[in-house]
Structure 1
Amino acid sequence: MGGQPTEKSMDFKGSSRRLLAQLRPEKARILTALGLGVGSVALAVAGPKVLGQATDLIFAGVIGRQMPAGETKAEAVAQMRESGHGKVADVISGVDFTPGHGIDFGAVGTVLLWVALIYLCSSLFSFIQARIATNAIQRVVFRLRQQVEEKLGRLPLSYFDKQQRGEVLSRATNDIDNIAQTLQQTLSQIVTSLLTIVGVLAVMFWISWLLALVALVTVPVSVVVATAVGKRAQPQFVAQWKSTGKLNAHIEEMYTGHSLVKVFGRQRESAETFRKENEELYAAGFKAQFISGAIQPAMMFIGNLNYVLVAVVGGLRVASGSLSIGDVQAFIQYSRQFSQPLTQVASMANLVQSGVASAERVFELLDAEEQSPDAADAPRPAHVHGEVSFEKVSFRYEPDKPLIEDLSLSVRPGQTVAIVGPTGAGKTTLVNLLMRFYEVSGGRITLDGVDIARMSREELRSHIGMVLQDTWLFGGTIAENIAYGSQDASMDKIVAAAKATHVDRFVRTLPDGYDTVIDEEGSNVSVGEKQLITIARAFLAEPEILVLDEATSSVDTRTEVLIQQAMAELRTGRTSFVIAHRLSTIRDADVILVMESGRIVEQGNHDSLLAAGGAYARLYQAQFAEAVAEEA
């Protein structure tokens, strides 16, 4: 599975082009940075050539001081040949010296000042280029994070049902951070390195085409080595980031449910799963970094061979008088400047491959199928009374596995509808269809005569308040959590909703009251208190329709009775859908629906369904017998 090199390789070229396309909005900044890079590289390339002039001036002064004054250069060279020093004559014939004159320190100082100015301007251009490029890259990553955030809001609930939460979080955080690091460390450096290679190569051919050809001998070898290593490393980077996502998903699940892990004694199994996934990540990461890391030492070895070849051939050219010592010195510097960016580009291959692997994972998220968009002219009820109608509704999670077939139901405004049945009967699915978390496969659902599939989701959900069995609180105060769906609510309304749902009872006992800060996990309040807060949140929103999915399952019996009383009052004038397993909590419901295998098998009130002696009666008697057994 994830972490093995047999994973299907990613579309490296396609993902790379798509990642680079993210830079288009920053075209002006990128071009400015590119221009500064050209200037910086041009000055850096000119430096060794100018510095070589200083070497030639010093060497010419040393030679000229040893020659008799009053002679010309040609006479001095000819005299050296006559005295049997032909090889020395060949060397000094390429030196521009004046017999009897020593080192011109003024000229040498001028050259050195020019060299210092050249390198200073090159560094300044490079600094400005880096700043502009960094700004452009961070803006690109900023927009990419925005795209991911907006995409998550457009994805259907079915996507999150099929994906581990830790895996999604890994794509939205770790992978985007890795893309940012890759672009930051490679984009400017690759451009600068390529410009340096072109500039240095041009000057090398200008100085000596023979030495330039010698320097180019090792380039094909470098390309072959980098390509071969890169192809072997790429699948490992794909596996590395997939393994990272799996490990993050496991850690997130274990941290979220750490209490249950301890209660059921699953620490050893959890640790074993962590060990296996950690080993997969270690193996993939080690292989990816080791293989790609082999590029740099290989390129350094090839660069050193290049240096030796240039030094040997250059020395022979000086000995023959074809080149000056200053030119050879400059050429040796250029050979280093030429091999160094080649090594840098090759050594950055691991970063590029890792970044593109992360980019593909992010693009997979961005390309995921979205929920159908709302119509621009979506209709809305003139006034929402809460009349809900299911008309021959069908639904299936999988095309070949029907769950709900031909279900019809009419709910009048203000009615309380209780939905009961065994696990998997389709109770929660029915509510999810009403909320448009899922779209119906057939039939339609209407709200006050308007098909909800034609309404905008925001408009539909603004009329529905929902309390789930699984509570959700965010990091903030208790007051902020209650007002989550009604951000403009006054403190008086927040307190009133809290009193109606008996939240005020325990909030008053806290040192900071409604200003008590709840952490993201809600660990500083009990499970029952968290559920009460979510109920208060729904009531404060004053929706026309209430959906309560096992909303009192986590509170004690006394609190449940109080909440039921409050619900009876607050449900007045509101259509309510109540999913419950404890049948004692829904006796007062106007309509009780008994569902089995996605169908409504019974419908009526508590008394009529008991009298019928059907599925509801069997469920009620089973729970009654269980309660008697527990009391005994």
Structure 2
Amino acid sequence: MTTSEWRGIAKTDEDEHVLEIERRFTGGSGELLRELLAPYKWAIWGLVGIVLVENAARLSIPYLVKEGIDTGIPPIRADNDLGPLVTIVAIVLLATLTQAITRNLFLVRSGRIGQDVLSEVRRRVFRHFQKLSPAFHDDYTSGRVISRQTSDVDAIYEMLETGFDGLVTAALTLVGTAGLLLFLDVKLGLVALVCGPFLFWITNWFRRESAKSYRVTREKVALVIVHFVESMGGMRAVQAFRREPRNQEIFDDVNDQYRVANLNAFRLIVWFMPGIRLIGNVTIAVVLLYGAYLAFHGEVTVGVLAAFLLYLRQFFEPMMEISQFYNTFQSASAALDKLAGVLREEPGVPEPERPVRLGQARGDLRFDAVDFEYAEGRPVIVGLDLEVPAGQTLAVVGTTGAGKTTIAKLATRFYDPTAGAVRLDGLDLRELTSDDLRRNVVMVTQENYLFSGTIADNIRFGRPDASMAEVEAATRALGAHDFIAALPDGYATKVANQGGRLSAGQRQLVAFARAFLADPAVLILDEATSSLDVPSERLVQQALQTVLAGRTAVIIAHRLSTVEIADRVIVMEHGRIVEDGAPADLAAAGEGRFSDLHEAWLDSLA
């Protein structure tokens, strides 16, 4: 197999994986739309009334033209009586003014409802994304999250802005015009409506094909957004591993798929709109020819024929625009499907139905016969029994894949165990509210994510109500005050690009200050010093002594320098504890996995 063939297969597999996730979190748009519009039921009925008045005024004008020709002009010829014609013209002006006023009312009120609905959609989606567990976000990348909050919400906005108005106007125009044509003259009306079956066929064809086309278009734009966001988010890795050509190749491919999908959608319009125009023009020509024949034989008046031609123009106008209605509707329907699918997703770690109040925890952490697997049939933790008494610092070491980080995720309830229970002060974590749990259990990872805002804002992340004095006290206790004070604006220095201007050690100290200020009963450190150089590590080690004092701590570590400060260490292997004891005792044993690790670490220092 050639390299290009392999790349083609790889790209197809990546795209299919993304699309599979898109389809998994899709469905239920009708129910979501009903929920969103339910609070505005009476306002929507008011809008329907306004649209009815507007369309009645608009549909009355061709009839008034007929009256002006047939009943307003003859008196002028007979005795120069302008009264009837002036009256009809005045009614036309009144109808035009009514149409303008009702149109303005509709746009203002529908715009207000539309913005309220969109605000509620964004609020729901953001709130729900925050509730969903890390397992969901592992599959559902940030690109798809952004797509839901931007392009999908925009599609719904377009439907609310123009779709409702266009759909109702088209329906009223078609029904109203057909009724008026038959009312004016049955024979001529039936001739005009012979075009109905042709219009029905081409409209039904367009509706069916555009539904397929626009769903594909939404899927392809999701591919573009996902690849773009992931490439930009991992730009350092992209450039470090010279991934630019491959990323460009993938993006060109998904971008071309999106282009082809849009072209297919455009081709539907290219056939639909000229088809409607052709049917309309042929119908007008036939009506003009037959109407002239009837008028010549005195069976219809010139005013009726003029009204027919005006009504036919109105009849085909919404049909000409219905392609845009379908575009808008299909796009919004696909967007609503995706949003509804996400909102229907249940959190992997749900809130308890009958929560137990914990209050201020002592910090006793226990794993009772815990089993866990990320994928069915692939256990990561097997029968784990572990107790960490309040105030003890436990270090967890082991080879990659031994289950160390999984212990941290279970202790913070990012995941629930497959079997068994994780307990805090004797209470199953599944019985605690997330507020209670997060207040008492905090995890610090090596990523040290810093948010937009100031250094002080980031330190207050765990305690937004903390005073500036408390923030400074936390940083002084950890030895971070000096470097923060030396920044251009001190604690008011803006954090840019996730703290990219700070060193790894400085970011770690800010993260520790955040945890120290939050003051949890249990602190989980997941590889918190693994990315630091030796000087930064020594600085952080000193801060750790302060952070860990008086609280339960679980330290997931590769570096044994971090383990030295622990009261106890366990060695994990294939999801099980294979050694457990004080670090000094295990190291001095002269045999065993920890002793081997300790000896290798000493050799590396030498």
Q: Same fold, TM exceeding 0.5?
A: yes
User: Could you tell me how far apart the structure 2 residues matched to 1:447 and 1:422 are?
Assistant: 27
| TM-score after normalising by structure 2 | 0.92
User: Is contact 1:154-1:371 (8 Å) kept?
Assistant: no
User: Is contact 1:564-1:585 (8 Å) kept?
Assistant: yes
Q: How many Å apart are 1:623 and its aligned residue?
A: 3.3
Counterpart amino acid of residue 356 in structure 2:
P
Question: Partner residue of 1:296?
Answer: 273
User: Do residues 231 (structure 1) and 208 (structure 2) align?
Assistant: yes
Among 579, 583, 595, which residue is 1:606 paired with?
Answer: 583
User: Do residues 619 (structure 1) and 597 (structure 2) align?
Assistant: yes
Which deviations, in whole Å up to 9, do the C-alpha atoms of 1:527-574 show, x marking residues without a partner?
332222111111111111111112223333223223212221332210
Q: How many Å apart are 1:58 and its aligned residue?
A: 6.5
Query: Once the two structures are aligned, what percentage of the paired residues are identical?
Result: 33
Secondary structure of the equivalent of 1:446?
A: strand
Q: How many Å apart are 1:319 and its aligned residue?
A: 0.7
Q: How many Å apart are 1:237 and its aligned residue?
A: 1.6
User: Is contact 1:10-1:235 (8 Å) kept?
Assistant: no
User: Could you tell me how far apart the structure 2 residues matched to 1:551 and 1:13 are?
Assistant: 41
Q: How many Å apart are 1:276 and its aligned residue?
A: 1.0
Instruction: Return 146-155 or 320-329, whichever deviates more.
Output: 146-155
Secondary structure of the equivalent of 1:218?
A: helix
Q: How many Å apart are 1:183 and its aligned residue?
A: 2.4
User: Do residues 408 (structure 1) and 385 (structure 2) align?
Assistant: yes
Among 512, 516, 525, which residue is 1:548 paired with?
Answer: 525
User: Do residues 140 (structure 1) and 154 (structure 2) align?
Assistant: no
User: Could you tell me how far apart the structure 2 residues matched to 1:554 and 1:293 are?
Assistant: 57
Secondary structure of the equivalent of 2:203?
A: helix
Question: Partner residue of 2:459?
Answer: 482
Secondary structure of the equivalent of 2:374?
A: coil
Secondary structure of the equivalent of 1:135?
A: helix
User: Do residues 25 (structure 1) and 39 (structure 2) align?
Assistant: yes
User: Could you tell me how far apart the structure 2 residues matched to 1:561 and 1:599 are?
Assistant: 31
- How do 1:41-440 and structure 2 match up within 5 A? 41-56=55-70, 60=74, 64=77, 98=78, 101=79, 103-381=80-358, 383-440=360-417
Instruction: Return 236-245 or 425-434, whichever deviates more.
Output: 236-245
Secondary structure of the equivalent of 1:547?
A: strand
Give the 3 Å change call, closer, same or farther, for CA 150–189 of structure 1 in structure 2. Answer: same
| TM-score after normalising by structure 1 | 0.88
Which deviations, in whole Å up to 9, do the C-alpha atoms of 1:476-523 show, x marking residues without a partner?
011011101111111011111122233322222222111111135333
User: Could you tell me how far apart the structure 2 residues matched to 1:337 and 1:56 are?
Assistant: 21
Relative to its length, the structure with more helix (as a share) is 2
User: Is contact 1:9-1:238 (8 Å) kept?
Assistant: no
User: Could you tell me how far apart the structure 2 residues matched to 1:26 and 1:441 are?
Assistant: 44
Q: How many Å apart are 1:134 and its aligned residue?
A: 2.0
Secondary structure of the equivalent of 2:430?
A: coil
User: Do residues 596 (structure 1) and 573 (structure 2) align?
Assistant: yes
Counterpart amino acid of residue 44 in structure 1:
R
User: Could you tell me how far apart the structure 2 residues matched to 1:10 and 1:334 are?
Assistant: 48
User: Is contact 1:36-1:129 (8 Å) kept?
Assistant: yes
Counterpart amino acid of residue 26 in structure 1:
Y
Which has the higher Rg, Structure 1 or Structure 2? Answer: 1
User: Could you tell me how far apart the structure 2 residues matched to 1:3 and 1:127 are?
Assistant: 47
User: Is contact 1:12-1:356 (8 Å) kept?
Assistant: no
User: Is contact 1:394-1:443 (8 Å) kept?
Assistant: yes
Question: Partner residue of 1:513?
Answer: 490
User: Is contact 2:440-2:522 (8 Å) kept?
Assistant: yes
Give the 3 Å change call, closer, same or farther, for CA 494–11 of structure 1 in structure 2. Answer: closer
Give the 3 Å change call, closer, same or farther, for CA 14–267 of structure 1 in structure 2. Answer: closer
Which deviations, in whole Å up to 9, do the C-alpha atoms of 1:380-402 show, x marking residues without a partner?
34652111111111111112111
Counterpart amino acid of residue 522 in structure 2:
I
Q: How many Å apart are 1:285 and its aligned residue?
A: 2.0
Question: Partner residue of 1:577?
Answer: 554
User: Could you tell me how far apart the structure 2 residues matched to 1:403 and 1:3 are?
Assistant: 27
User: Is contact 1:10-1:238 (8 Å) kept?
Assistant: no
User: Is contact 2:25-2:341 (8 Å) kept?
Assistant: no
Give structure 2 stretches of 5+ with no counterpart.
1-11
User: Could you tell me how far apart the structure 1 residues matched to 2:157 and 2:293 are?
Assistant: 49
Counterpart amino acid of residue 599 in structure 2:
Q
Give the 3 Å change call, closer, same or farther, for CA 241–415 of structure 1 in structure 2. Answer: same
Counterpart amino acid of residue 203 in structure 2:
A
User: Could you tell me how far apart the structure 2 residues matched to 1:486 and 1:20 are?
Assistant: 39
Give the 3 Å change call, closer, same or farther, for CA 346–236 of structure 1 in structure 2. Answer: closer
Among 443, 447, 458, which residue is 2:424 paired with?
Answer: 447
Which deviations, in whole Å up to 9, do the C-alpha atoms of 1:439-477 show, x marking residues without a partner?
011111211122222112221121122211112111101
User: Do residues 563 (structure 1) and 540 (structure 2) align?
Assistant: yes
Secondary structure of the equivalent of 1:384?
A: coil
- How do 1:495-534 and structure 2 match up within 5 A? 495-534=472-511
Q: How many Å apart are 1:57 and its aligned residue?
A: 5.2
Counterpart amino acid of residue 395 in structure 1:
F
Question: Partner residue of 1:87?
Answer: none
User: Could you tell me how far apart the structure 1 residues matched to 2:505 and 2:267 are?
Assistant: 52
Counterpart amino acid of residue 31 in structure 1:
W
Give the 3 Å change call, closer, same or farther, for CA 592–253 of structure 1 in structure 2. Answer: same
User: Do residues 36 (structure 1) and 50 (structure 2) align?
Assistant: yes
Count of paired positions: 590
Counterpart amino acid of residue 615 in structure 1:
R
Which deviations, in whole Å up to 9, do the C-alpha atoms of 1:585-608 show, x marking residues without a partner?
211211111111111111112222
User: Is contact 1:292-1:350 (8 Å) kept?
Assistant: no
User: Is contact 2:402-2:573 (8 Å) kept?
Assistant: yes
User: Could you tell me how far apart the structure 2 residues matched to 1:215 and 1:624 are?
Assistant: 95
User: Do residues 587 (structure 1) and 564 (structure 2) align?
Assistant: yes
Which deviations, in whole Å up to 9, do the C-alpha atoms of 1:256-311 show, x marking residues without a partner?
11122112211111111111111111111221233245322221221111211221
Secondary structure of the equivalent of 1:425?
A: coil
User: Is contact 1:467-1:547 (8 Å) kept?
Assistant: yes
User: Could you tell me how far apart the structure 1 residues matched to 2:506 and 2:107 are?
Assistant: 53
User: Is contact 1:214-1:310 (8 Å) kept?
Assistant: yes
Which deviations, in whole Å up to 9, do the C-alpha atoms of 1:317-361 show, x marking residues without a partner?
211111111121111101111111222234421221111111111
Give the 3 Å change call, closer, same or farther, for CA 445–113 of structure 1 in structure 2. Answer: same
CA RMSD for the aligned pairs?
A: 2.4
Q: How many Å apart are 1:17 and its aligned residue?
A: 6.3
Secondary structure of the equivalent of 1:348?
A: helix
User: Is contact 2:122-2:149 (8 Å) kept?
Assistant: yes
Secondary structure of the equivalent of 2:370?
A: strand
Q: How many Å apart are 1:21 and its aligned residue?
A: 5.2
Question: Partner residue of 1:80?
Answer: none
Counterpart amino acid of residue 518 in structure 1:
V
Which deviations, in whole Å up to 9, do the C-alpha atoms of 1:413-444 show, x marking residues without a partner?
11100111111111111011111110011111
Counterpart amino acid of residue 156 in structure 2:
I
